[in-house]
């Protein structure tokens, strides 16, 4: 009797094939982010409220120590009780959060990037540019010209440079993001 019931509820070959095809198809918004050939997924980790910074610190040290494929650990400002891990696979995210005090576990679903995009802000990376450095101008009318930095104004994010190939040294003021340091004169 029990075998009869099991046989009736078991899907046949055609139904199994349809299920496999449906699993392989992904809706347009569920497609994974591709970054230089690496697919990344975002997972939410439930943490004790007001302990997000500690969990973030533990998770990043776990990632560095165990060499796990977790690319970023995100703590959105104003969102209490959760941090986000950008990882290659779910198991990588689980390994990063395993054994961390105050971490309650990973939510079952994957988080689409569009859901957390409004919580993120870009930060400027501190650039180490000093006087007498040799640099290359990477944008503007003097693109690909080599220059020597004569003055750095970090408050205005500007540098004053002199072109190396110019016959007469003329000081030119350009933005910090328009140059790339080639070598350091010490």
pLDDT tens digits in sequence order for the chain, 186 residues long: 444 333 444 445 665 565 555 545 444 333 344 445 678 899 999 999 999 999 999 999 999 999 999 999 998 888 899 999 999 999 999 999 999 999 999 999 999 999 888 888 777 667 788 888 999 999 889 999 999 999 999 888 899 999 998 889 889 999 988 898 888 766
Do 45 and 114 have their domain in common? yes
Two tokens at 31?
Answer: 């497609």
Alpha helix segments (H runs only) across 47-151: 52-66, 90-97, 113-116
Domain count along the chain: 2
**Residue 84 DSSP class:** E
Do 48 and 115 have their domain in common? yes
Domain that holds residue 171: 134-183
The Cα 144–Cα 142 span in angstroms is 6
Do 58 and 101 have their domain in common? yes
Pick from 163, 183, 184: nearest CA to 173: 163
Do 41 and 72 have their domain in common? yes
- Say which CATH number the domain at 174 has: 2.30.30.30
């Amino acid at each position: 009797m029990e075998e009869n019931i099991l046989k009736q509820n078991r899907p046949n070959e055609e139904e199994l094939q349809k299920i496999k095809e449906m699993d392989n198809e992904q809706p347009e918004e569920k497609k994974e982010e591709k970054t230089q050939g690496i697919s990344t997924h975002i997972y939410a980790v439930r943490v004790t409220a007001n302990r997000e910074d500690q969990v973030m610190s533990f998770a990043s040290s776990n990632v560095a120590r165990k060499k796990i494929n977790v690319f970023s650990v995100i703590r959105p400002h104003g969102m209490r009780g959760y941090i986000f891990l950008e990882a290659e696979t779910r198991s990588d995210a689980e390994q990063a959060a395993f054994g961390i005090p105050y971490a309650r576990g990973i939510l079952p679903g994957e988080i689409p990037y569009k859901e957390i995009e409004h919580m993120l802000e870009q930060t400027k990376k501190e650039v180490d540019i000093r006087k007498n450095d040799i640099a290359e101008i990477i944008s503007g009318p003097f693109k690909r010209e080599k220059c020597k930095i004569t003055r750095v104004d970090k408050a205005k994010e500007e540098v004053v440079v002199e072109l190396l190939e110019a016959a007469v040294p003329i000081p030119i003021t350009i933005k910090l993001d328009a140059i790339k340091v080639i070598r350091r004169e010490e």
